[in-house]
């Protein structure tokens, strides 16, 4: 479930701190209060200031926060990808199979025929140019 977390140098950690702080302030300090008519909170701006200070002055101090953030995001990504795959299966593949079954279509030819001695299909004769033009 967890892949290796990419190693970031000072510039990468600086970018991580600035972008993460800006996202926190933008989402929780502006977008949510505006969308849901909440009072403007102060804590996203404090997080922005702290992350920006660490990013600009001591970016290496952000490494533990970066590692925790990446582990959390990998766990969330693993869960969300499985939910999306399950939803696609149940919303696309299952109805397709049910419709095919209702119409009597069996592309795998799984119907049992007791009178047939073998289910092996005869292969057509190979042509001389079959390797050059297989289809």
DSSP label at 44? H
Distance separating alpha carbons of residues 59 and 130, to the nearest angstrom: 62
- pLDDT digit string, tens, across residues 79-120: 999 999 999 999 999 999 999 999 988 888 788 888 888 888
Residue-range domain boundaries for the chain: 10-103
Nearest Cα to 16, choosing from 41, 78, 24? 24
* Model confidence band, residue 5 (pLDDT cutoffs 50, 70, 90): confident
Residue 13 has pLDDT above 80, yes or no: yes
Record the pTM: 0.63
């Amino acid at each position: 479930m967890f892949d290796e977390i990419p190693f970031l140098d000072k510039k990468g950690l600086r970018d991580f701190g600035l972008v993460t702080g800006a996202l926190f302030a933008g989402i929780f300090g502006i977008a949510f209060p505006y969308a849901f008519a909440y009072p403007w909170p102060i804590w996203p701006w404090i997080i922005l200031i702290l992350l920006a200070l660490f990013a600009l002055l001591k970016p290496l101090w952000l490494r533990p926060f970066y590692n925790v953030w990446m582990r959390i995001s990998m766990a969330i990504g693993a869960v969300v990808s499985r939910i999306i795959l399950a939803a696609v299966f149940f919303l696309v593949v299952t109805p397709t199979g049910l419709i095919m079954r209702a119409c009597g279509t069996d592309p795998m030819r799984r119907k049992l025929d007791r009178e047939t001695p073998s289910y092996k299909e005869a292969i057509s004769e190979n042509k001389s140019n079959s390797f050059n033009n297989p289809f």
